[in-house]
A and B are shown apart, each in its own frame.
Chain A
């Protein structure tokens, strides 16, 4: 990480606070209209998908219905649920868009998400052993973690995680690695498991029992379509999220360097530990504007549709302080994620030898 002294950190804090204050002062009608438009689009797509699904015995209709429901879930999870639960729209004072009460269309309960994501991940971003989102305890993504033989097969873990992403996220708070190390007991996790069963049950009931049974003669088609929609959402959201912190240049941190850190240091860590990707307007919307992961991590509670507008100013702050602003095309960023998963599945000696072989020698 770029080293800044206390004065520089203070200056960084002031520069970023200035951007934040400008946006806060400008919040209003436009933001309310934006999020309501997204909610309306979500409702329309979900209703459209559900209504069309029973007619899925006609192949093009099946594709349309599955895509419609899948995109509805993506919009609801990424642009609406994730952002609302960050408190981005709390100022609207609308009980249906409030961070503390919002419940989203996925297995992970809102409460569990607020604990593991809003608090753990956003406070301790990329601090190895404190940010459990770094590798989700199933992937080794840096040499801070000692190589073990099972890491050699971690690409399989990655594929499983991305296909079953909503269940993985739902079970994240179980902290299996701590259970495994006997730091915590199963008994401690009973309340969480109950919550998981309630919310997971609700989601499975809705998509895999209720709607198929409602349309009994075509139940297998509806079941297949709903599984497809969930799969589309799982693949897309896990891909977007992996591009946020596991790209080539996204940095990691140790507990020691973050002990008793200032707000300025927290800002610096968010800037160096996150990565963006570029693309068109709808790519950003469907990623919940996590394509602006850097802006999101610096200002997690500003309405996400504002990130594109402030990105230029954040980049200027980075240039001023000599901090690398990590961005690139979606495909470039994603390929570095896949590369990282592959690289760290190898023992360090083999990985380093390969890296040396691939680095052009300086003359």
Chain B
């Protein structure tokens, strides 16, 4: 970058200043911290792809993969920054008036995005899942959803090294993206995929995987249906021992918690070091625990403070006990002075006894009691 000519640097600087000045002016005129979204309510009526608050993405096609899994082909607006194989994105959509954010792995290869501007999300219906069920039932070609920038460090090793993937169920999605990318660039090292599904009918992208294995000789594919026989057939030590040169492999795990725990144990027994193992969780949130079982580790992200709490202390009391001074007012759930953003974890509303979702949402600190680990922007 040091070879940039000075004129170019100057232009960049001045355009940067100009952007800043415009942003400042926008804030003065619109009173919004994100002035570009001031017109969104009107723009979204004219063309939802013009919305500025997030990157809009239009659904172009919906592919039925299995009984409970669909692949959504999306075309994000031009300003989307792209991704690397194995990364995730947050999508946001509105379900019954409430904006919901969820994280999914991208299942297509970055090449598809570069060539045709398309990305795919392969999504399984979760039992009781608000957003996945809504997407399955309502999202159709032509609809628009919001997209965040890609993130995650579940990435193809560079330079190439031998790889073992152990995937379960819809945990195959980031692996699909990586395998396609590897095949296209002729990734020069052995690659093995052990793919566990409940029944033969639950195989996601089976044809695509077999076609990949056929045209990309470095790939060894083994699909195991765990529940086809009366005795479940889970991952075994011999599955791993069958993998040539196991000790030299980078291992990528993606699947339900049971499979990941089992794999971690078996790999440790075989002397695979932790730094060789890369995991990404996709499992549905654990069901809410019983009432009375409250307290947990609370992380106040903006203040970089972490404390543990027991019993039914609310987030406001916990924050204050930790020496923080979040905004508050009535302390009885009326005035919303203390409302702030919860980024993860479950809380119980002390007034209603209602248990929150695990995701990002606004909570009133003074009536929210943590249930397990919670992070809030305080």
Q: Which residues of A contact B (CB under 8 A)?
A: 21, 24, 27-33, 36, 39-40, 43-44, 85-87, 90-96, 98-101, 103-105, 114-115, 118-119, 122-123, 202, 205-206, 210, 263, 300-301
Contacts and interface: CB of A to CB of B under 8 A. Distances in A.
Interface residues of B, number: 37
B158 to A, nearest CB: 36
Nearest to A42: B41
B31 A99 contact: no
A135 to B, nearest CB: 21
A40 B99 contact: no
Contact of A90 (B53, B94, B360, B362): B362
Given A36-B41, A206-B29, A87 B336 contact: yes
Contacts of A123: 329-330, 334-335
Given A21-B352, A40-B41, 9 more contacts: A27-B97, A30-B97, A36-B41, A93-B101, A118-B337, A119-B337, A123-B330, A123-B334, A263-B332
Nearest to A124: B330
A118 B335 contact: yes
Given A122-B330, A123-B330, A105 B97 contact: no
Contacts of A29: 96-97
Contact of B339 (A95, A99, A202, A263): A99
Nearest to A117: B335
Interface string B19-36: 000000100110111100
A284 B98 CA distance: 25
B29 A210 contact: yes
B339 A103 contact: no
A271 to B, nearest CB: 15
Interface of B: 25, 28-29, 31-34, 37-42, 45, 53, 94, 96-101, 327, 329-330, 332, 334-337, 339-340, 352, 360-362, 364
Nearest to A300: B334
B339 A87 contact: yes
Nearest to A301: B336
Given A43-B42, A300-B335, A93 B100 contact: yes
Contact of A28 (B97, B336, B364): B97
A40 B40 CA distance: 9
A95 to B, nearest CB: 7
Contacts of A36: 41
Contacts of A39: 41
20 contacts: A21-B352, A28-B96, A32-B94, A39-B41, A43-B38, A87-B364, A90-B339, A93-B362, A95-B34, A100-B340, A103-B31, A103-B33, A104-B31, A105-B31, A114-B336, A115-B329, A119-B337, A123-B335, A202-B28, A206-B28
B328 to A, nearest CB: 8
Nearest to B94: A32
A122 B335 contact: yes
Given A36-B41, A96-B37, A118 B336 contact: yes
A327 to B, nearest CB: 23
A104 B31 CA distance: 6
B133 to A, nearest CB: 16
A85 B42 CA distance: 22
Contacts of B96: 28-29
Contacts of B99: 92-94
B13 to A, nearest CB: 25
Nearest to B377: A100
A104 B361 CA distance: 22
B98 A92 contact: yes
Given A87-B339, A93-B99, A122-B330, A43 B31 contact: no
Please provide the 8 A-B residue pairs with the shortest distance between their CB atoms, ordered closest to farther: A87-B336, A32-B97, A119-B329, A28-B96, A93-B99, A103-B31, A118-B335, A39-B41
B98 A98 contact: no
A29 B34 CA distance: 24
A98 B339 contact: yes
A98 B29 contact: no
Contacts of A31: 97
Contacts of B53: 95-96
B98 A90 contact: no
A109 to B, nearest CB: 10
A155 to B, nearest CB: 33
A119 B42 CA distance: 33
Contacts of B339: 87, 90, 98-100
Given A98-B339, A115-B337, A122-B335, A43 B41 contact: yes
A301 B98 CA distance: 16
B32 A33 contact: no
Contacts of A206: 28-29
Most chain A CB neighbours (cut-off 10 Å) among B38, B42, B94: B42
A98 B34 CA distance: 13
A40 B328 CA distance: 31
Contacts of B361: 93
B39 A43 contact: yes
A343 B223 CA distance: 88
Given A93-B100, A119-B337, A206-B28, A44 B330 contact: no
Nearest to A202: B28
Contacts of A91: 97-98, 362
B9 to A, nearest CB: 31
Contacts of A21: 352
Interface centre among B53, B100, B362 (most CB of A within 10 A): B362
A222 to B, nearest CB: 14
Contacts of B334: 122-123, 300-301
Nearest to B37: A96
A99 B295 CA distance: 27
